Amino acid sequence: MLAIRDLSKTYPNGVRALKQVSLDIPVGMFGLLGPNGAGKSSLMRTIATLQDPDSGSITLDGRDLLADKPATRRLLGYLPQEFGVYPRVSAETMLDHFAVLKGLVVRSERRAVVESLLRQVNLWEVRKQKLGTFSGGMRQRFGIAQALLGDPKLIIVDEPTAGLDPEERNRFLNLLAEIGEKVVVILSTHIVEDVTDLCPRMAIIAQGQVLLSGQPGDTIAALAGRVWRREVPKAALEEYRRRLVVLSTRLVGGRTIVHVLADARPEDGFVSVDPDLEDVYFGELRRHAMRAA
Ligand SMILES: Nc1ncnc2c1ncn2[C@@H]1O[C@H](COP(=O)(O)OP(=O)(O)OP(=O)(O)O)[C@@H](O)[C@H]1O
């Protein structure tokens, strides 16, 4: 279990990126959901010991991760948001190089590990291909292979599915789900479906604060009977926003559909809908914005 307690971070320019963040993250996939600038990368980088918090603690099964950074890095696999590779180097050579950096110095052992990882991420057939020729999804799968070097106990992947087409995204998420059966995997994303599809536990963060954490199903159930849907003229949207708690607006086949949060039918024309995680997410962001105003 990864335990994060009261983690705060203010950058030198005065931005408070993390405000007393506390989370308990068990083995399995954990979705960290938040809009741009929420503090997801700041939290990921802090857990990965790439930057220090101002205060707070992070422990993995009781072990202080911030105390001994080299030891923490040995436990950790990290796929950062911007994962640079040498475009002219083949996948196999690059992974072999990363393996040396991870301390796998015995050549025969290293070869076996590199082969097994390339097979696991389904890149064995293209191992001789230069990384610069890889598609976005292939590059991300390569990123996971390097993150898995050294049998990490904790894996952090920062917005890995942005820019992937649906098929590549699915393949990537399935791979993560397999890995998540044995170790703690933290997946940061602003894509709600990534969490719905994959994560038994999650948290929503915005402006450096945890707004909600728990099991997606429980948070969705808490909204049962309180989400209403209606098609509205586009021109009337602003007025709806002023009068009602509008969770989301969607264009469906050229028509504008709003989701509204209310304990009872807000007015004629609204029908009750089964809530989903997107309703939970937008509801929390909306509540937070209203509190902050
Ligand atoms: N090195 C830095 N120096 C100053 N401010 C920073 C730094 N890194 C991030 N920030 C600011 O901290 C806040 C949180 O940023 P962070 O990158 O952690 O968010 P995020 O949730 O990962 O966003 P995104 O989805 O856009 O990547 C933002 O306001 C950002 O501008």
What are the tens digits of pLDDT across the range 91-147? 999 999 999 988 888 999 999 999 999 998 889 999 999 999 998 888 888 999 999
Distance of CA 276 to the CA centre of its chain: 18
Is residue 38 lining ligand 1, measured as CB closer than 6 Å? Answer: yes
Give the number of the atom of ligand 1 that is nearest the alpha carbon of residue 158.
22
Mutational test site, ligand 1, from 42, 81, 187, 207, max ligand atoms within 8 Å of CB: 42
Q: How far apart are the first and last CA of the chain?
A: 36
Cα separation, 23 vs 279, whole angstroms: 22
Q: Kindly provide the ipTM of the predicted complex, given to two decimals.
A: 0.96
Q: Please state the atom number of ligand 1 nearest to the C-alpha of residue 205.
A: 21
The CA 230 to ligand 1 mean position distance, Å, reads 36
Joined together, the tokens standing for residue 126 give 């293209």
Q: Measure Cα distances from 140 to 98, 123, 131, 157 in Å.
A: 15, 11, 11, 10
Label residue 51 by pLDDT band (50, 70, 90): very high
